Structure 1
């Protein structure tokens, strides 16, 4: 597609050039000869161009055609700089711009057309130096590329989060093909789907003694085509190790596949044959960082020896780089073990003081679309956020509240689930918070305003525009226009959150400051070609010190005596219900804050298993 756009641009430029030059230049002068030669070269009307030279037409036509093939050029564009006349001799200086195709750089150089009068007509004095000042007889152009292998996605310690596996690259040595090149690429095109002209252009533009990568295969596809490839004379297959087999968290790291004709056309990036392509996760989000760094040189070669004569231009290419994440391998392993015995669950762990994502583990759910960007009812886990507003509104944690099986607030009916832990009929706010009594918490709706609840939600990141390089969801709180709406919000019934968002809520209470999440620390943005600054994350928001102190005490009470307190260290948190047999645990131990969402399983038990399994667990 990009090649097509460049060709279109060249066509437009050509039309402008023709109309401008035709209108400005008149015979008898060298202007017409210069115009016709450059327009013919640019538009691939090589007969027009050859007719304006003093050389053999067939030789000139072939030289112009070969130059395009040898450079694998998508287009040539020219601009006349000046024309000088000295009697029967003249010289035209021009600027050439060559699109080297496949998203290689544009190559610009200054050229010279020497002209003289032949039978009263101006002719370009033909020699190879007309194509480029450094091109001589017995020489040709070539494009030498040196693609770099894919770089890994790494954890916070810099260790790869994927294992090496093999890809198979089919290619040729042009010097060994002789006059069989067209037959070889025709057969290769037939079995792979790659365009025959593109394969042939790669061969003809490459140095003859260098292995030219043409098609990449994954293991399974290579095995299915191995016999067909071996039947094509001149085709060689190289086995290349690349870091593409993801370690946990596999859906966050993402999968990689070999480049195909479809993905090559779709990506429109710096990929070439032999590259691998990220299909999902961070491998896809950071594709242009992990691969595609290609050093490119335009050179001249001696036709007899095939050796390089001169280097005309060089582009080192963008250096590809590893992507450094905040994932902690030890924490990830603990998370994987914790969810292993569940059927449907999600666990997100973040570093309490930074918001850095340490682990994402799921069972029966997707790590990206559920753990990071899922939209789930918050249930009474949202009471952490509501408690911030209620405590600021001077609701005492010692205030007595009844916990009946049912209660109506503002016309909205609330039911304390039968499976939920029983609360004494006149327990305190802290006790009802710790046990997640829906009916008791909902009764506090009249003690707080809608704005106060909304402000607390915002302070804990709900609905804030924080972003990750992967899909993520910060939560949503609807407009609260009645006591019933406020009661539903306190009970988390009209609030949607993600496990990641709730882990950040726990981290905010544990550390004293809410912070946006961080998953990748380097590079700063997924797109290396972005001309704008990376998206600015929301500023950290400190939690009111007095409120935090009380909330910490309340969340400690919420963990004591529950399965979450399975380890020896102090655990803080709440176990909450969210309907449809879903339960939450939101809390922290030490430096690690987590949110667990589980179906038909006690989320607190998953949390307890996780905390007990941490490599530095107290």
Structure 2
């Protein structure tokens, strides 16, 4: 009997111990809260700048948890933060991720949007945020801090005369890039922008996180959006390097520069003008040859050296041998024929050009009537009955064709002309005879 009682006591004890173990296991599986609730509470506390509450929701927060958040807010001048949670993704029974979108309102940058993820896990019977510097901002390493810095930037947004950006693939982009720096020189205050950098603890490693350019000033050039677009589209599909320059004869304003020549050739690379230069030769200086063009962006007109021996005088007279001209120069020559006065080109207002070209600009020059009359007659005849007649040029156009030998390959092709208060030059490198006038026709038809 005594043995039975002892056995019963042992059995009862084992049952009690087993029950206790089962209860302990069941309690261990009871997790308070949910990843959704913890993640939402953390984001709410973050948006309210309740750092103490945020710290309570973090598993094993670093000793400087509060300092890291305060330093970020101070360094970036954060005025407020808005956080929007996404749907929780369960990774396992005890881990989950909550993606979220954020928007920091920063003093100098304005609104800075970012996207990140809260990593959550079960710790000590409840859901907690597993915090790293990456939680503070995506991509931030443990040894980095974010800081804002002011950096110099191009501060002028150049526009066409209508206040619009350049047309797509216009061929004037390189000119606008160069002109931006010159226009910036007109202003006393240097343009700046704001950037946020990630800087290592040693200060030796820096990487750009985000950049926001400050509000820029706008500056209208003389380029006409419609004329520029027509010039650019007229050259679409042309395999050879080419350029169209258009100017306003009455003012010298550059209305279009669609340049697909190497090295901004429309302004800076003189070519033999061929027959497009013929009865201009004797009045070359009156058309700007031999000097620099002070347009606000520079440019050269061309050269006419005195002929040497043999057939050099004849070659010069038809735009070969020592004669060289840029498309800009030839457009100005056509403008002078149309208007009766050669005017220096400009890409901006007279006042702005005057401030940039401090050593002065050449004065307009009237052409002698005895030179103008035969030139106008010849240029009209070329279009109506001459070499340009088959090109489909619209009514009212006067102009002249030309070809000039290249160092290798086919001749360069020119067409130079005017219609109303518009003068232009078309050059096609190695285009061969007759290549330029049809491009001029497409250009004019699109206006």
Q: TM-score, normalised by structure 1?
A: 0.40
Aligned to 1:357: 254
Q: How does 1:275-314 map to 2 (within 5 A)?
A: 280-289=177-186, 292-293=189-190
Unpaired runs of 5+ residues, structure 2, are: 1-67, 76-104, 110-136, 160-164, 193-214
Contact 1:290 1:323 in 2 (8 A): no
* Structure 1 residues 384 and 338: CA distance shift in structure 2, 3 A: farther
2:385 corresponds to 1:554:
no
2:333 corresponds to 1:505:
yes
1:591-611 Cα shifts (integer Å, max 9, x gaps): 110111013261011111111
Aligned to 1:416: none
Aligned to 1:569: 395
Q: 2:272 aligns with which of 359, 368, 377?
A: 377
Q: CA deviation at 1:384?
A: 4.2
2:305 corresponds to 1:478:
yes
Structure 2 residue matching 1:524: 3-state secondary structure: helix
Distance 1:589 1:380 in 2: 20
Which is higher, the Rg of structure 1 or of structure 2?
2
Q: CA deviation at 1:534?
A: 2.1
Q: CA deviation at 1:382?
A: 1.3
1:418-475 Cα shifts (integer Å, max 9, x gaps): xxxxxxxxxxxxxxxxxxxxxxxxxxxxxxxxxxx3xx11011111343123241111
Q: CA deviation at 1:518?
A: 1.0
2:226 corresponds to 1:330:
yes
* Structure 1 residues 608 and 236: CA distance shift in structure 2, 3 A: same
Distance 2:139 2:188 in 1: 29
Q: 2:316 aligns with which of 489, 505, 510?
A: 489
Q: 1:600 aligns with which of 426, 431, 437?
A: 431
* Structure 1 residues 488 and 352: CA distance shift in structure 2, 3 A: same
Contact 1:468 1:519 in 2 (8 A): yes
Contact 2:343 2:365 in 1 (8 A): yes
Q: 1:609 aligns with which of 437, 442, 447?
A: 442
Contact 1:289 1:321 in 2 (8 A): no
Distance 1:348 1:536 in 2: 24
* Structure 1 residues 568 and 294: CA distance shift in structure 2, 3 A: closer
Runs of 4+ with deviation above 6 angstroms? 178-181
Contact 2:157 2:218 in 1 (8 A): no
* Structure 1 residues 467 and 237: CA distance shift in structure 2, 3 A: closer
Distance 2:220 2:73 in 1: 48
* Structure 1 residues 547 and 359: CA distance shift in structure 2, 3 A: same
Structure 1 residue matching 2:264: 3-state secondary structure: helix
Q: CA deviation at 1:348?
A: 0.3
Structure 2 residue matching 1:177: 3-state secondary structure: helix
* Structure 1 residues 491 and 376: CA distance shift in structure 2, 3 A: same
Structure 2 residue matching 1:488: 3-state secondary structure: helix
2:418 corresponds to 1:588:
yes
Q: CA deviation at 1:579?
A: 1.4
Q: How does 1:333-412 map to 2 (within 5 A)?
A: 333-343=229-239, 344-363=241-260, 365-366=261-262, 369-386=264-281
Structure 1 residue matching 2:344: 3-state secondary structure: coil
Distance 1:355 1:523 in 2: 14
Structure 2 residue matching 1:281: 3-state secondary structure: helix
Unpaired runs of 5+ residues, structure 1, are: 1-173, 182-208, 214-225, 256-277, 296-318, 387-452
Structure 1 residue matching 2:306: 3-state secondary structure: coil
* Structure 1 residues 229 and 480: CA distance shift in structure 2, 3 A: farther
Distance 1:373 1:520 in 2: 18
Q: CA deviation at 1:588?
A: 0.7
Q: CA deviation at 1:284?
A: 2.5
Structure 2 residue matching 1:472: 3-state secondary structure: coil
Q: 2:71 aligns with which of 177, 192, 199?
A: 177
Structure 1 residue matching 2:288: 3-state secondary structure: coil
Contact 1:556 1:572 in 2 (8 A): yes
Q: 2:291 aligns with which of 464, 467, 472?
A: 464
Contact 1:478 1:495 in 2 (8 A): yes
Q: How does 1:19-34 map to 2 (within 5 A)?
A: none
1:266-308 Cα shifts (integer Å, max 9, x gaps): xxxxxxxxxxxx9x3212322345795579xxxxxxxxxxxxx
